Amino acid sequence: MKLRHLTSITDLTAYEIKKIIDRAIVLKKQQKTKRKVKKFLDSKTLTMIFEKPSLRTRISFEIGMTQLGGHAIYLGPDDIQMGSREPVEDIAKVTSSVADIIMARTFSHESIIKLAENSTVPIINGLSNLEHPCQILADLMTIYEVKKTFKNITISFVGDCENNVTHSLALASAILGINFKCASPKGYFMKKEISTIARKIAAKTGSKISETQDPKEAIFHSDVVITDTWVSMGDEKEKEKRLKIFTKYQVNNKLMSLAKKNAIFMHCLPAYRGNEVTSEVIDGEKSVVFQEAENRLHVQKALILFLLGL
């Protein structure tokens, strides 16, 4: 079997994304109904490398491995000091010689690429500064559960569009033929390299990728409204500046009213109520953020099985 990695959401085809989601839905149903789940990962180990802490990433991968009969090892920022105490290339070679699969949550996307280039087992991008493919798989699973289709769907992202969630969302939308609109202040648009790739893919699948400074324009008549924190890890020095710049991009009831009546609200969490979203929205009837968070578990289980050919 050919070695597969998930460094970017573009490592998967539309068919493969749908296949992973379909299996995740089956695994979720089995878990919810307490049906016996085959221990596909018996005696297999996932090594989890964390340069950045995360509640959802750690518990979803670790619990997922346990549920499928495997084991997960957590390596925190002080355990290996990737790139400083030891080269990324060496870490990849050593870890892949004993582990069955590796997940890394890093500051630099370059570290993910180096891990993949030097590993003999699958590498999963648990988050980098450029992309967040695991989160987007969970988002897509949630959208599919609620909307029952990806056809004629429009996703809108409002806030800081130069972030990993927006990048992976735009690319995944293009792959699946979903229309994607994003709104941000000038200077916070998607990275050019990502928007260019997304538009090239979209030209083949028939979807539209658009960017604007107007949040009302972006959200108008959308099926899904998504936002993220305005101050990500690493942006703390710009906190006061960002809180002022992004004020009009807050997702509140007034802004949500511009989307379709049956639109849903999503957020990868952690959320800062009163900043990027109001309590009325994130804790309201249109919000599916906790369903979205739970789906990290199910879709990542399906992803691991896919990458291991099981």
174 in the same domain as 124: no
Q: What is the pLDDT of residue 81?
A: 83
Q: Closest Cα partner for 248 from 278, 279, 271, 215?
A: 215
Give domain status of residue 51, yes or no: yes
Q: How far apart are CA 154 and CA 144, in angstroms?
A: 13
pLDDT band at 237 (very low <50, low <70, confident <90, very high): confident
Residues carrying an active site annotation: 105, 132, 135, 228, 268, 296
For residue 233, the model assigns a pLDDT of: 67
What pLDDT, on a 0 to 100 scale, did the predictor assign at position 118? 98
Co-location of 158 and 213 in the same domain: yes
Instruction: Pinpoint the alpha helices (H) of 206-288.
Output: 215-219, 239-245, 253-256, 279-282
24-38, 105-119, 158-172: the lowest-pLDDT one: 24-38
pLDDT (tens digit per residue) in 257-283: 999 999 999 999 999 999 999 999 999
pTM reported for the whole predicted model:
0.96
Looking at residues 213-242, what average pLDDT do you find? Answer: 91
Three-state DSSP class for residue 264: strand
Beta pairing partners, 210: 181
Residue 153 sits in the same domain as residue 271: yes
Considering the domain architecture, whether residues 174 and 119 belong to the same structural domain is answered as no
The string over 27-46, giving b where at least 16 C-beta atoms fall within 10 Å of a residue's C-beta and e elsewhere, is bbeebeeeeeeeebbeebbb
Q: Among the three residues 132, 154, 169, which one is the final residue of a domain in this structure?
A: 132
What percent of the chain has pLDDT above 90? 90
Q: What is the tally of structural domains in the chain? A: 2
pLDDT above 90 for 3:
yes
The lowest-confidence range among 4-18, 80-94, 140-154 is 80-94
Q: Which residue has the higher pLDDT, 50 or 36?
A: 50
Residues 164, 269 within the same domain: yes
Residue 301 within a domain: no
Q: What is the pLDDT of residue 59?
A: 98
Q: Give me the pLDDT at residue 82, please.
A: 82
Query: Based on the domain organization, do 92 and 149 belong to the same domain?
Result: no
Q: How far apart are CA 164 and CA 210, in angstroms?
A: 17
What are the tens digits of pLDDT across the range 187-207? Answer: 999 999 999 999 999 999 999
User: Is the predicted pLDDT of residue 234 greater than 80, yes or no?
Assistant: no
- CATH classification at residue 78: 3.40.50.1370
Per the structure block, which two tokens stand in for 127? 């988050």
Kindly tell me if the per-residue pLDDT of 99 is higher than 90. yes
Residue 83 clears pLDDT 90, i.e. is over it:
no
> What strands, in cross-sheet order, belong to the sheet with 71-75?
71-75, 45-50, 101-105, 123-127
Mean pLDDT across the chain: 96
Q: Are residues 56 and 89 in the same domain?
A: yes
Q: What three-state secondary structure class fits 103?
A: strand
pLDDT at 113 over 80: yes
> For residues 250 and 221, is the Cβ–Cβ distance under 8 A?
no
Higher pLDDT, 255 or 31: 255
Q: Which residues make up each annotated binding site?
A: 81, 105, 132-135, 164, 228, 232-233, 268-269, 296
Q: Which of 132, 161, 186 is the last residue of a domain?
A: 132
Residue 164 is part of which domain span? 135-292
Q: Identify the band that residue 232 occupies on the pLDDT scale cut at 50, 70 and 90.
A: confident
In the predicted structure, residue 94 carries a pLDDT above the cut 70: yes
Compute how many other C-beta atoms are within 10 angstroms of the C-beta atom of residue 280. Answer: 14
- Say which amino acid occupies 281: V
